[in-house]
Every structure is written in structure tokens, then in C-alpha cells.
């Protein structure tokens, strides 16, 4: 599969970085978005929880058409899997 332009949000580490590194050689242009640096040529520093961050990304994309937008940004909530918040406890509440 080959893409022209791909944007990966959350590309500094984790799932997003793995996806970006996999796809960078299969696209003409891969834009990597995150707050801290991503080891990808076209890294865009932006906080996507802020309007200014979204505007920064839109400006970087410019007139290019995105063929794929992969949104991997987010927070891995480890506390969601403690006994207090487990799915088993939640199911008892239903
Ligand atoms: N790992 C799993 O097994 C798993 C399973 C199910 C769902 N998920 C979900 O999938 C998502 C990614 O998981 P992950 O394990 O790859 O997480 P991760 O290693 O913490 O990576 C999160 C990525 O999101 C970016 N990010 C976070 N807030 C951002 C913001 N405000 N603006 C721009 N970029 C932002 C981070 O970059 P910066 O900090 O540099 O901005 C980072 O690149 C999370 O939402 C997680 O809850 C993960």
C-alpha cells in the first residue's frame, strides 16, 4: 500500500511512533504531531488539546490533501485497571 500524505497524531512514542516509523517509507510525506519531539523528519510540535495547536497543524498541512489521518494521541490511564476501577467492579454496579 502506498500513500501520498499521511498525518500521525501522537507520534513521539508508543503506538503512534511505531505506526509513523512503519509508514514513513510508504508515503511521500508523513507529518508527525506531538508536544515533545518525534524522531521523524517532518515533526510538528503542537498540543492538540489547544486551538492554537490545531491551527499549527492546519498551517503545516497547508494546501496538501491528507490521504490518511491516524490519531494515536492520548493518555494511557493505568489507574483505570486498579481494583477500584476494574471492569469486574463496574459490571457489579450495572
Ligand atoms: N498502549 C495500549 O495498550 C493501549 C490500549 C488501548 C488504548 N490505548 C490508547 O491509545 C492511545 C495511545 O496509547 P500509547 O500507549 O501509544 O500512549 P503513549 O505512549 O502515552 O503515547 C501517547 C502519544 O500521544 C501524544 N499526546 C498526548 N497528548 C497530546 C496532546 N495534547 N497533543 C499532542 N499529542 C499528544 C504523546 O506525545 P507528547 O506527550 O509528546 O505530546 C504521545 O506521542 C492512548 O489514548 C491510549 O489510552 C492504548
Name the residue range of residue 23's domain: 3-93
Q: Is 12 in the pocket of ligand 1 (CB under 6 A)?
A: yes
Confidence of residue 69 (pLDDT cuts 50, 70, 90): very high
pTM of the model: 0.86
Please count the structural domains in the chain. 1
Average pLDDT in the 10-27 region? 95
Read off the CATH number of the domain in which 68 is found: 3.40.50.720
What confidence tens digit (pLDDT) does each residue in 74-92 have? Answer: 887 666 666 665 555 445 5
Count other C-beta atoms under 10 Å from residue 79's C-beta: 7
Average pLDDT in the 30-36 region? 97
Sole residue written with cell 509508514 = 23
Residue 62 has what pLDDT? 95
Q: Is 57 in the pocket of ligand 1 (CB under 6 A)?
A: no
Backbone angles phi, psi at 6, to 5 degrees: -125, 140
Nearest to 67, CA basis, from 9, 11, 3: 3
Contacting residues for 7 by C-beta, under 8 A, at least 6 apart:
30, 31, 33, 57, 61, 66, 68, 69, 70
Residue 3 has what pLDDT? 74
| Longest pairwise C-alpha distance within the chain | 52
Q: Is 15 in the pocket of ligand 1 (CB under 6 A)?
A: yes
Average pLDDT in the 29-50 region? 97
* Higher-confidence position of 68 and 80: 68
Closest atom, ligand 1, to C-alpha of 74: 45
Q: Is 49 in the pocket of ligand 1 (CB under 6 A)?
A: yes
Report the side by side order of strands in the sheet with 68-71.
42-45, 27-34, 3-9, 68-71
pLDDT > 50? residue 41: yes
Provide, rounded to the nearest whole percent, the portion of the chain with pLDDT above 90. Answer: 74
Residue 48 Cα to ligand 1 midpoint, Å, equals 12
How many residues appear in the chain?
Answer: 94
Amino acid at each position: 500500500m502506498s500513500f501520498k500524505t499521511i498525518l500521525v497524531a501522537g507520534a513521539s512514542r508508543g503506538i503512534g511512533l511505531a505506526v509513523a516509523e512503519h509508514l514513513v517509507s510508504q508515503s511521500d510525506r508523513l507529518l508527525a504531531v506531538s508536544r515533545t519531539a518525534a524522531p521523524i523528519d517532518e515533526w510538528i510540535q503542537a498540543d492538540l488539546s489547544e486551538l492554537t495547536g490545531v491551527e499549527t497543524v492546519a498551517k503545516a498541512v497547508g494546501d496538501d490533501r491528507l490521504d490518511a489521518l491516524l490519531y494515536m494521541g492520548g493518555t494511557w490511564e493505568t489507574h483505570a485497571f486498579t481494583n477500584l476501577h476494574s471492569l469486574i467492579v463496574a459490571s457489579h454496579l450495572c
